[in-house]
Amino acid sequence: MKFILKHALLILAITIISCKSEKKEIKKDAKSGATKITKKIHYKQEKHLKNVKQLTFGGDNAEAYWSFDDKQLVFQASNHWGLKCDQIFVMSAESLKHDHNIPQMVSTGKGRTTCSYFMPGDSTIVYSSTHLADINCPPVPKKEDHGGKYIWPVYESFDIFVADTKGNQLKQLTNTPGYDAEPTVSPKGDLIVFTSLRSGDLELYTMKLDGSDVKQVTKELGYDGGAFFSPDGTKLIFRSSRPKTDAEIKEYKELLAIGLVKPTNMELYICNIDGSELKKITDLGSANWAPFFHPSGKKVIFSTNHKTKSVPFNLYMINIDGTGLEQITFDPIFDSFPMFSYDGKKLIFSSNRNNNGTHDTNLFIADWVE
């Protein structure tokens, strides 16, 4: 589901850019009218980032997450390497040569995948895929068929799988009717959190690493997803649509009944891993998503377009009590999917910066400065 949100919002967000390191060069694209800024991967306002490096070059690369030893990254990619839709890959966190060398594919190369994460020991990956239902990419709904609304599909064929880092498929963890996806793993190495439609609504669940002992976490109407554990494994941060008015509830239910969700109005929530002490920590409006805990466990970094309700999407930080909102990145189009390394020294994120006026989304890594 995270990848679908990226694509839906990027249709809105990207027209696109390229950058220049010291001085901005603004040009007009004669064909699209888009503004281009050339050759810049780090903006001077980004005081928390240092030694920013680009890891991928071309296509759509997103949702990169660290191995427990901080030496590898797992991510999803599409629109290059002959891929028709997203597949899962692993690569070294140090290599800068992936424009010419295709990383190791972890998924099957069939269907559509999303939301991968390293398991304890760094030799296996948990991820979501539709490949058992159909080897082809599932259809992407068109917004013009739904009144121009930005929507994404909740594919009922998504299930959660485990593979090793060489692409050997090891185990299927979910096998219930409807959407099961978006797994991430606790830093404690004992639990997976994921989103499922098994109750009739999109709720968070936890399970053990072998798929057993499934427990429901959230129970309120609305899409709850994109969840990550706190550094000590006791809390969850996630995004939610939570419709409240009669009109919002009607729209949400009608879309969900045909396997769709509208991603353009979401806020961030925190709760304990059993769902207790649930608290809304943002009230910014528009799309607030891709949250991840700061290494201290006292703040959350996330992506939002709350300033404009359109573009750009940038990374912000907020205290877990909802105070102290601070802008972290300043790209003119799109930054999202942040994750801190386990040692807290680095940040990985996806961005449209330095893409030479294309629609490419690439991975960037930076030293984190407090």
Domain chopping of the chain, boundaries: 2-368
- Which tokens hold the place of 310? 């359109």
The structure's pTM equals 0.91
- Which tokens hold the place of 62? 């997103």
pLDDT at residue 97, as a whole number: 58
The DSSP symbol for 34 reads -
- Say whether domain 2-368 belongs to CATH 3.40.47.10: no
pLDDT at residue 98, as a whole number: 53
Place of tokens 């990027």: 10
Residues of the chain with pLDDT under 70: 1-38, 96-100
pLDDT at residue 29, as a whole number: 33
pLDDT at residue 1, as a whole number: 52
Contacts 24+ apart (CB under 8 A), 252-261: 252/221, 252/222, 252/223, 255/146, 255/151, 256/154, 256/201, 256/202, 259/153, 259/154, 259/155, 259/156, 260/141, 260/146, 260/151, 260/152, 260/153, 260/154, 261/1, 261/151, 261/152, 261/154, 261/202, 261/223
CA atoms within 13 A on the CB side of 84: 11
The DSSP symbol for 145 reads G
187: amino acid identity, one letter: P
pLDDT at residue 30, as a whole number: 31
> What's the angle, vertex CA 161, arms to CA 56 and CA 343, rounded to 5?
50
Please measure the distance between the N-terminal and C-terminal CA atoms of the chain and give it in whole angstroms.
Answer: 31
Q: Are 364 and 351 in contact (CB under 8 A)?
A: yes
pLDDT at residue 169, as a whole number: 98
pLDDT at residue 143, as a whole number: 81
- Helix residue ranges, H only, the chain: 2-13, 246-257
pLDDT at residue 21, as a whole number: 28
pLDDT, tens digit (0-9, with 9 covering 90-100), for 121-144: 999 999 999 999 999 999 999 888
